[in-house]
Amino acid sequence: MPKILIIDDEINLRETIAEMLTYLGYEIYLSTDGLDGLEKVKSVQPHLIICDIMMPVLDGYGFMEHHQSSDYKHIPVLFLSAKVEPRDKEKGIALGVKDYITKPFTFKDLKATIDLFLT
């Protein structure tokens, strides 16, 4: 069963995504900020990470800077963010994210993007 780590400080969104992905058979782990997310990556070793950008403590960009220099940099990261400026996407891609999904999004689109990296 593929493991997915969701790092997002918006509890309703995080829980909704988790519930939908659990229903589809994924094993889901949750984190509220980038710093906690880095710890969860070590303990869980997920197959995929979905990460918001704007979060307290350590934002998504900071998470990626640490993630790319870790032993777990092979784990793909998808950014899921309300930041829609082209420079935000460019920065994420430059930091190593595999894809950038903007909020609002459809669950169908999220699932299709997840499938690209877990198949």
C-alpha–C-alpha distance, residues 61 and 85, integer Å: 15
* Confidence (pTM): 0.95
DSSP output for 31-63 = ESSHHHHHHHHHHH--SEEEE-SS-SSS-HHHH
Q: Are 76 and 98 in contact (CB under 8 A)?
A: yes
Task: Write down the pLDDT at residue 84.
Answer: 75
Q: How far is the C-alpha of 72 from the C-alpha of 65, rounded, in Å?
A: 12
- CA 43, 45, 13, 26 dihedral sign is negative
3-class DSSP state of 2: coil
Give the total number of structural domains in the chain: 1
The domain in which residue 54 lies consists of: 3-118
Whether the Cβ atoms of residue 51 and residue 34 lie closer than 8 Å to each other: yes
CATH code for the domain of 78: 3.40.50.2300
pLDDT digits (tens, 9 = 90+) for 35-85: 999 999 999 999 999 999 999 999 999 999 999 999 999 999 999 988 778
- What is the rounded distance in angstroms from the CA atom of residue 26 to the CA atom of residue 72? 20
